[in-house]
Amino acid sequence: MQDRLDSTGGDANAALAPVRRDELLMESIDESFAALLGHRVKNTWYAYLVNRRALDREDIPERLGDFHECMQETFGQAAVAIEKNILARFYRKLGLNFSGGTHYSFSDFVDATKNGIQDL
């Protein structure tokens, strides 16, 4: 992955506190679910994650793999569109460009922001 990524070096986003980055990710997830599926589905989805994977909302940033698997199981091919919407919102909040490339996973895109990587 690293050979195709452009590093921003001293980018201010690289210095963003992990707690704040997680908050922005969760805001992006909340906004995407509410916009695409409605508040009722969003709330039902979070309850499903707790029941299906013992995955509380606040733990999603640390358990992106479980979140992604549940997305795939529940929404099938639509999960890709939902995840891209989440990522586009998240990157916009960070002031980054989201290219939406298909060679990387949801987790790869989120992890790239932790390392100060501008574009995938």
Domains of the chain, by residue range, sit at 2-119
| Integer CA distances (angstroms), 46 to 33, 36, 55, 103, 108, in order | 10, 15, 8, 28, 22
Q: 119 pairs with which residues across the strands?
A: 6
* pLDDT higher than 80, residue 111: yes
Tens of pLDDT, residue by residue over 11-70, are 445 556 788 899 999 999 999 999 999 999 999 999 999 998 899 999 999 999 999 999
Average pLDDT score over the chain? 83
**pTM attached to this predicted model:** 0.81
What confidence tier does 7 reach under pLDDT thresholds 50, 70, 90? very low
Class of domain 2-119: mainly alpha
Query: Could you tell me which residues come within 8 angstroms of residue 81 by beta carbon, excluding any fewer than 6 positions away?
Result: none
What is the pLDDT, as a whole number, of residue 18?
Answer: 80
What confidence tier does 120 reach under pLDDT thresholds 50, 70, 90? low
